[in-house]
Amino acid sequence: MNDTAIWTEKLVKTYPGVRAVDGLSLNVPRGVAYGFLGRNGAGKTSTIRILLGLARATEGHGKVLGFSIGRDQIAILERTAYVSESKTLYGGLTPRELVRFTRGFYPNWSDQAVEKYSRLFEIPMDRPFAKLSQGNRTKVYLLLALSQGADLLVLDEPATGLDPVVLDEFLCILVQDVIAEGRTVFISSHQLSDVEQIADWIGLIDHGKLLLEARLDDIKSQFRCVTAAGNALPQTESPEVLLLASEGSFYKYLVKKNADAFAAELSRQGATVAEVSPLGLREIFLALVRKEEPCTSGNVGGIPAAVSSSLS
């Protein structure tokens, strides 16, 4: 448990008519960048809000940095920096005043970090927050989060409005100044390519359930797309194989493990295996989410859990 930055067990959050988080069990190791991915409404922000005490879990429990959610909330917040999805701050305050307001709450606050990042991000420190562009507002939020000296950074869509140069600098900061120091980054984003650049671990959530949780390297080295042609090829699925598409005699499979063995088996059945190709995070994301979407709550979670255990 001490090696875990975030741990949840069967977390459930229901709103009237909606089960936003549905039995979510997360294991985020310390000192890694963890990409928390999912579609709009998948339950990412609800999960983050529960972790930070902004919402209460309907069922289940969890720990952040070893402290219980709800019970030890102040201890969690002292060690956690949060960049919210909305990026809304006090419009009348300037970034300098926002720094002044925020610094007193954190014992590890770094004025050097404020100096460094405000210069790097070129933040107009004396202009009221309401008059800043969306990109500059995001930068102010990031500045405040990075200067807290937090053990855990929870970033909900942190790239909103950032231009590619600043985004690149920010990702470098995360890797060099945060993760390299053994701190943890929990990043929720739709920008899969950005997450792919820095993430060590991936958690994929849909309809409030965890579809996949694994090391990104393991995913990249083991997940394959197998394209084959032939008659009467298998259309049934197993925990390791998902049928992505079939048109005429062409079939496309997502194979989560032992792709070469699967291709060999198809060949034995008389198929012509056209290609065994690696998959990017984007393809895997789309394949899993689209594939799982029509499923009912009874069978959605089964496959990813198996994948998770087989890869860890």
Residues lying near another protein in the complex (CB under 8 A) are found at 49, 52-56, 74-75, 77-78, 80, 82, 84, 86, 88-93, 97, 100-102, 104-106
Burial class of residue 40 (count of CB atoms within 10 Å of its CB; 0-12, 13-18, 19+): exposed
CB of 158 to another protein, least distance (A): 14
Answer for the pair 147, 141: CB distance below 8 angstroms, yes or no.
no
3-state secondary structure (DSSP) of residue 290: helix
State which residue, 144 or 241, has the beta carbon closest to another protein: 144
207/295 Cα distance (integer angstroms): 10
CA-closest candidate to residue 301, choices 4, 10, 81: 10
State which residue, 64 or 279, has the beta carbon closest to another protein: 64
CB of 155 to another protein, least distance (A): 13
Tokens 């590890």 locate to: 108
What tokens does 236 get? 């049934």
3-state secondary structure (DSSP) of residue 297: coil
State which residue, 142 or 311, has the beta carbon closest to another protein: 142
270/273 Cα distance (integer angstroms): 9
CB of 287 to another protein, least distance (A): 33
CB of 288 to another protein, least distance (A): 30
Burial class of residue 209 (count of CB atoms within 10 Å of its CB; 0-12, 13-18, 19+): buried
State which residue, 20 or 242, has the beta carbon closest to another protein: 20
State which residue, 50 or 263, has the beta carbon closest to another protein: 50
CB of 255 to another protein, least distance (A): 42
Ramachandran category for residue 171: left, alpha or beta (phi over 0 → left; psi -120 to 50 → alpha):
alpha
CB of 257 to another protein, least distance (A): 39
State which residue, 55 or 306, has the beta carbon closest to another protein: 55
Q: Which helix (H) or strand (E) holds 45?
A: helix 44-51
